[in-house]
Amino acid sequence: MATRRRYRKRADRHVVAVRLDLDTAGFTYRKWGAEQRCKRGDWLVDNQGDVYTVDGEVFARTYRGVSAGVYVKTTPVWAEVTTEPGSVATKEGRSHYQAGDYLVYNAEDGTDAYCVGRATFESLYELDE
């Protein structure tokens, strides 16, 4: 792996999101090459056309509302470029990546991981150093 570096979401990149605040056990769906799970309190997010769920506690800690249904990520992430294909366990399930994609972490210690394709990551994030 390359060196892990700190990034911030670009200021003009917002998401549209709705909290799954229903009396439900949640649901499963297929994405990133595996089955993903969400539960009551998680968020259904549309990130520039890429739709997925985010754990409720993670969303509350890393996003803030700017208008009804529109949110921006306010916390930094740490990311590194992968050198070979693989997968990573996330809060929602397992996500698969290809060489050249980014492994992204919501915490500097490398926890709360997910993966993002190279072109998408580079359009959404910028170095924060």
d(C-alpha 112, C-alpha 76), whole Å: 13
- Contact partners, residue 78, CB within 8 Å, separation at least 6: 4, 5, 6, 7, 104, 105, 107, 108, 110
Q: Are 122 and 97 in contact (CB under 8 A)?
A: no
Please list the pLDDT of the chain residue by residue as tens digits (129 residues).
568 999 999 989 999 999 999 999 999 999 999 999 999 999 999 999 999 999 999 999 999 999 999 999 999 999 999 999 999 999 999 999 999 999 999 999 999 999 999 999 999 999 997
Range of the domain at 79: 5-127
Smallest CA-to-CA distance from 73 within 9, 4, 126 is with: 9
| Per-residue pLDDT, 58 | 96
- Domain total of the chain: 1
